[in-house]
Amino acid sequence: MTQTEYIVGVDVGGTWTRALLFETSAKAIEKIREQVDTSCDMAISDQIIKMIYNLCKRNGIAVSSLKGIGIASAGPLDSKKGLLIKPPNLPFDYVPLVEPIKQKLNVPTFLINDCAAAVLSEKEFGGGKGIKNLFYVTISTGIGSGIIIDDRLLLGEKGIAAEIGHVTVLPDGPMCGCGRRGHLEALASGTAIARWVKDKLAQGAVSTLPQNQTITTEMIANAAKSGDTLSTAALERAGRLIGQALANLLHIFNPTAIIIGGGVSQSGAILLEPMQAAMKEYTLSPSYLDNLILTRAAFGDEVGLVGALALGRSRYPYTKHNHD
Amino acid sequence: MTQTEYIVGVDVGGTWTRALLFETSAKAIEKIREQVDTSCDMAISDQIIKMIYNLCKRNGIAVSSLKGIGIASAGPLDSKKGLLIKPPNLPFDYVPLVEPIKQKLNVPTFLINDCAAAVLSEKEFGGGKGIKNLFYVTISTGIGSGIIIDDRLLLGEKGIAAEIGHVTVLPDGPMCGCGRRGHLEALASGTAIARWVKDKLAQGAVSTLPQNQTITTEMIANAAKSGDTLSTAALERAGRLIGQALANLLHIFNPTAIIIGGGVSQSGAILLEPMQAAMKEYTLSPSYLDNLILTRAAFGDEVGLVGALALGRSRYPYTKHNHD
C-alpha cells in the first residue's frame, strides 16, 4: 500500500492568512485561517510555521512527511528569493518567507503571487488542464495575469513578469495607482470602472445609480442588467479596452486559451461581449482567434489556496527554471 | 579523433535563397546563394535540397552525415508544420519546406522566421550568450521580435507569437499594413517614419530633405545628424513610441536583456535616447530597468544564416516543445 502524502497550501491575504492541508491527490483535509498579525509581534513566516504545525498535529501527520508547501500572496513579491516586497498592511519592505520556513520545517517551499497561483489552479484543476500555453487574466479591484508558456510559469528575470495591468492602453489616459498614465488597470479595473461612473454622475449623467453614495462594480453590473445606460456604457468601455489589450497579448503569446477571472468578470456578457468584439477588431489575423479557448475561471475565493496546492504539489515543472 | 560534424543554415529571402555549410563548431565552410525561382518551375524545397547536395558534394561531405538543417525565412510561416504561409514573390499560400527536405535528406530540419533566427543568433553567438530571458527587436521596414524565455524560443500555440510590430500603441493611430489601426509597425517602422516625414513635407514643413523624391530612413537619419529639425522630430517620435511599447514588454516579460537590431536602429542616439527615456517614463518600477542589458545587435545581413546555424546546431533546447 502506498503511504498517503501531504501538501500544505498557504494563501497570504491583506487580512487573513489561510492554510489548507491537502493529500497530494488534492483531497482537502482541513483548512484553518488566522488574521494577519499587523502588530508585527510575530513574523508572517513564524505565523505560517505555527499554522502548519497545528494542521499537521491535529491530523496526526509528521511535518517532516509533508511533500511540499506552496504559498500564494498578493504581490509585489520575489518568487526567486522567496520574499514579499511591500506586503499590504505591513510596515516592512522586504519580508522573507521561503527561507525561514524551509529552514525550520525542512520541506520544499515555494512562493508565487496570487495571479500566478490562479493560472496554476486553472492549469492543474480547472479549464486549463492539459493546455501548454495558457493566459489567465483577473479583472478585479486591479488587473493582473498569470501566464503559462510551454507548461511553465512565466516569471521573468526577477519574477516580476506578467504585469498586464500595467500595459499602456491609452498613452494620455488617466493616472494609474502605480503613478504612470493610461495603464489598463487605470482604465478597466473595478476601481477604474467605478471612478469613471462617479465622474460621469458628477457631470450630471442620467442613471438609476444612487447619487452621493459609494458605487461598487457589483451595483454597476446590476444596474446595467436592468438597462441603465450609464452602467452599460461603463462596462462596454472597460470590456473594449480589455479586448484591445488582449489582442496585443494574442500577438505576443499566441496562447491556446485565455481564462478570465476576478469579480468584475462576473458582470458577464455586458463586459465580455464588447471585449470579444474588440479582440477581433484589433487582431492582425483570424489565426489568433481560430480555436482560441476563451473561458471563465473555475475558482473564486479559493483560487489562492488551490494554486498554492498546485504549486506545492507540482513544484518542479512549473518553476524549475527558478530553482535550477 | 572525433569526426567533424556539419550543419547547413539556409536563409530564404524575397530574392535570394542562401545556404551556408558550417562545422558544428560554427566554422563556416562555404556559402552559396541562388535566386528564388519565382517562375515556380522548381519548389523552394527542391531548390534547397539541390543547394545542400551541391554544398556537400563540393566539400566531400556525405549528406547523410549532416547533423541538422536550420532554415530561416521571412514570415508568416508555421514553425510547427514547417511551412511558409504566403511567402513574398510566390503565388502560393502554403509552401511545405521541412517535410520534403527531411524525407529526401533524412536530416533533422527546422524552420523559423527571421526574427526568431535573429534572437537565436544573438543567444548563441552575440550579446545574448548565456542569457535566459532575451528580447530581440528589429526596427527595419517593419518591426518584429524574437523572444527567448527561460532558454526557449517563444513560438506560441501556432508558432505565430512575438508579433510585437502588431501591438496597438495608439488606438486611433494610422492604418497598419495588416489592416488594423495604430500598431507599433504603423507608427515607428522605417516605412512609417518615412511616411510621417513625407506627410509633413507635403504640409509644408521646413527641412533640408529633398522635395518630390523618395525619402529613405537613411536619408532621414543623415539629415537628423546634420541638424535637420523635421528629421530629428521624426526619429524622436518613433523612438518614444518604441520605448512606450518596450515598457509594456518589460512589464510582460521582465527580460534580462533587450537587443535592438534592424537598419533603422543604425540611426543611433537620435532614435535610441528618446526610446530609453520613454521606457523609463512608462515603466511601473525601476526594478524592470535596473541591471537591464540594452544593446545593439551583433549581426546585420548575415543574421538569418547565423540564426539558421544556431537552430540547426542546437535544435533540441530552443524548440523542443514544438517537436515533442
pLDDT at A80: 84
Asked if the Cβ–Cβ distance from B166 to A284 is below 8 Å, we say yes
Q: Measured between CB atoms, which of B162, B183, B287 is closest to A252?
A: B162
Q: How far is the C-alpha of B302 from the C-alpha of B319, rounded, in Å? A: 21
| Closest chain A C-alpha to B316 CA, distance in angstroms | 14
Average pLDDT along chain A: 90
- A254 torsion bin: left (phi>0), alpha (psi -120 to 50), beta (else): left
pLDDT at A323: 42
Asked if the Cβ–Cβ distance from B252 to A163 is below 8 Å, we say yes
Per-residue confidence at A13, pLDDT binned at 50, 70, 90? confident
pLDDT at B317: 53
Asked if the Cβ–Cβ distance from A285 to B160 is below 8 Å, we say yes
Interface of A with B in 14-73 (CB under 8 A): none
Set of chain A residues whose Cβ sits within 8 Å of the Cβ of B283? 180
Question: Quick check: B151 contacting A, CB < 8 Å?
Answer: yes
- Identify from A86, A136, A148, A284 which residue to disrupt to test chain B contact, counting B C-beta atoms within 10 A and taking the largest count: A284
Highest average pLDDT, of A161-170, A223-232, B64-73, B163-172, comes from A223-232
Spatial CA neighbour of B15 closest among B301, B322, B323: B301
Contact A22, A29 (CB under 8 A): yes
What is the percentage of chain A residues whose pLDDT exceeds 70? 93
More confident residue, A114 or A75: A114
Q: Span B236-249, mean pLDDT?
A: 97
Residues 6+ apart with CB under 8 A from B164: A251, A252, B137, B143, B144, B145, B184, B245, B249
Asked if the Cβ–Cβ distance from A151 to B321 is below 8 Å, we say yes
What is the percentage of chain B residues whose pLDDT exceeds 90? 66
Contact A32, A18 (CB under 8 A): yes
- Identify from B79, B158, B284 which residue to disrupt to test chain A contact, counting A C-beta atoms within 10 A and taking the largest count: B284
Contact B38, B13 (CB under 8 A): no
Residues 6+ apart with CB under 8 A from B161: A251, A252, A253, A254, B147, B154, B155
- Identify from A113, A149, A293 which residue to disrupt to test chain B contact, counting B C-beta atoms within 10 A and taking the largest count: A149
Identity of residue B19: A
Tell me the HSE value of A233 on the side-chain side, using a 13 A CA sphere: 11
Set of chain A residues whose Cβ sits within 8 Å of the Cβ of B156? 133, 253-255
* CA nearest to A178 within chain B: B284
Identity of residue A183: H
ipTM of the complex model: 0.89
pLDDT at B158: 86
| Closest chain A C-alpha to B149 CA, distance in angstroms | 8
3-state secondary structure of B104: helix
Set of chain A residues whose Cβ sits within 8 Å of the Cβ of B150? 152, 321
pTM of the model: 0.90
Q: How far is the C-alpha of A80 from the C-alpha of A157, rounded, in Å? A: 9
Contact A241, A192 (CB under 8 A): no
Asked if the Cβ–Cβ distance from A255 to B157 is below 8 Å, we say yes
pLDDT at A168: 93
Question: Which of A80-89, B9-18, B137-146 is predicted with the least confidence, judged by mean pLDDT?
Answer: A80-89
pLDDT at A153: 92
Q: What confidence tens digit (pLDDT) does each residue in B180-212 have?
A: 889 999 999 999 999 999 999 999 999 999 988
Residue B314 pLDDT > 80, yes or no? no
* CA nearest to B173 within chain A: A170
pLDDT at B30: 82
The β-bridge partners of B70 are B9, B110
Question: Quick check: B166 contacting A, CB < 8 Å?
Answer: yes
Q: Span B159-182, mean pLDDT?
A: 91
Asked if the Cβ–Cβ distance from B252 to A247 is below 8 Å, we say no
* CA nearest to A245 within chain B: B168
Q: Measured between CB atoms, which of A156, A166, A247 is closest to B284?
A: A166
For residue B7 the three cell numbers come to 550543419
- A17 torsion bin: left (phi>0), alpha (psi -120 to 50), beta (else): beta
| Closest chain B C-alpha to A61 CA, distance in angstroms | 37
Q: What confidence tens digit (pLDDT) does each residue in A207-263 have?
A: 999 988 899 999 999 999 999 999 999 999 999 999 999 999 999 999 999 999 999
Contact B292, B255 (CB under 8 A): yes
pLDDT at A14: 74
Question: Which of A24-28, B88-92, B103-107, B221-225 is predicted with the least confidence, judged by mean pLDDT?
Answer: B88-92
pLDDT at A87: 66
Residue count of chain A: 324
Q: Span B130-140, mean pLDDT?
A: 95
* CA nearest to B169 within chain A: A169
Spatial CA neighbour of A119 closest among A100, A104, A132: A132
pLDDT at B322: 43
Q: Span A128-139, mean pLDDT?
A: 96
Return the ∠ at Cα A210 (arms to A205 and A211), rounded to 5°: 60
pLDDT at A93: 76
For residue A265 the three cell numbers come to 468578470
